[in-house]
Amino acid sequence: MMQGSVWIAGGGVISGIGRNLDECMASFEAMRPGMAYMQHLHSSHAGTFPVVEVKASNEELAALAGMPAHWSRTALLSRIAVQEAWNASGLGSISDYRVGFVSANTVGGMDKTEDFMAAFLADPAKGKLRQVVHHECGAVTDLVADAMGIRHHVSTSTACSSGANALMYGARMIRAGMLDVVIAGGTDALTRFTLNGFNTLMILDQQNCRPFDDTRTGLNLGEGAGYVVLVSDAVAANIRPWCRLAGFANANDAYHQTASSPDGTGNFLAMKGALEMGGLQPEDVGYINLHGTGTQNNDSSEGLAITRLFEKGVPPASSTKSFTGHTLGASGGIEAVFSAWALREGIIYPNANFSVQMKELAFSPVTAFSRGNDLRNVMSNSFGFGGNCSSLVFSKE
């Protein structure tokens, strides 16, 4: 039987604008997006497409994570953010609880595999097998779970809405009484495969991305990891949680393999379902963390869905991808951390690079950072390929 509330006990994040949550907040406040030309990813497009890399080599990340440098970048990013999230929760020893780990990623250890293949193709006797042994997505999750000492449940999911879906899955397990605590979110590193794939779709911007701007021409890829610590009522009673995960929903408009339906049907249903689970009305939402990738299709469909749902007036809204880039499997987790923290601290994030109102929308994103806002409920949207749409609602009580 599903019962009780699920709370956010803490969160952790590493991205191209900061190695932890405090550094990310400083970048938002200083209006300092993370876009730059590639320094760590080796690509023939290095001087063409700006990306939002974590400003650290694999060796530096390994030192921060306390893990071997031969781990994939995806796993190292995950380990760093998971440890910060656990520390922020104030829960003490993981061994004291029934803990699950639900972690999304789309590239697994591909960053290492790509390097292996270059050496192997030149000489089949070359290349280190430890670069490919953790190639698949689940291996990244298993490595971090083992490092954290998580034993009760470990699972992984994929695609661009799956960081949010990880929270939903974890929340259901807690409400079903299967676990006391779930660390949920996602991680992804930049790889040549990802960059080339998005370039083939012709949705990469050669300038800094401009979500919800009429001049937008595409997204900037980013990398990072973000996780929240979900806890049951019983566990939350002994700590001061950030907020409550009040509602969530997933919908699929099944319109196209890589595009949302033009009118945002899946987006609308996900947002509506999340509000209904939380017993909330649209006017109860104080801020929306938009999916906001900067592509023509995404921003238009999301914007039209928001206009339809929030017919009495759209609350302040912005896309933090205008700072972090689109971090794919990590994005739902990173933005869940940002949204939960926004609710706790009364923060509204700015939408960078905005200048021209979209013709089809009556609202425009917030362009200034602010603290001290009276926020009671915050919505976070994550919409993935195949029309897979997820919305989360965080509430103060």
- Residues carrying an active site annotation: 160, 291, 326
* Residue 37, beta-bridge partner list: none
Edge-to-edge strand ranges of the sheet holding 377-384: 153-157, 99-104, 181-188, 224-231, 7-15, 243-252, 388-395, 377-384, 287-289, 317-318
Q: How far apart are CA 378 and CA 159, in angstroms?
A: 23
DSSP string computed for 315-332: PPEE-THHHH-B-GGGHH
Cα distances from 93 to residues 59, 85, 90, in angstroms, run 28, 13, 9
Q: How far apart are CA 289 and CA 349, in angstroms?
A: 8
End-to-end Cα, the chain, rounded Å: 22
Q: 């390994």: which residue's tokens?
A: 62
Q: How far apart are CA 320 and CA 279, in angstroms?
A: 26
Q: Going by C-beta distance under 8 Å and a sequence separation of 6 or more, which residues neighbour residue 200?
A: none
- Answer yes or no: are the C-beta atoms of 392 and 336 closer than 8 Å: yes
* Residue 188, beta-bridge partner list: 224
| Helix, strand, or coil (residue 173) | helix
| Helix, strand, or coil (residue 28) | helix
Q: How far apart are CA 307 and CA 358, in angstroms?
A: 13
* Residue 226, beta-bridge partner list: 13, 186
Q: Going by C-beta distance under 8 Å and a sequence separation of 6 or more, which residues neighbour residue 217?
A: 205, 206, 207, 210, 294, 296
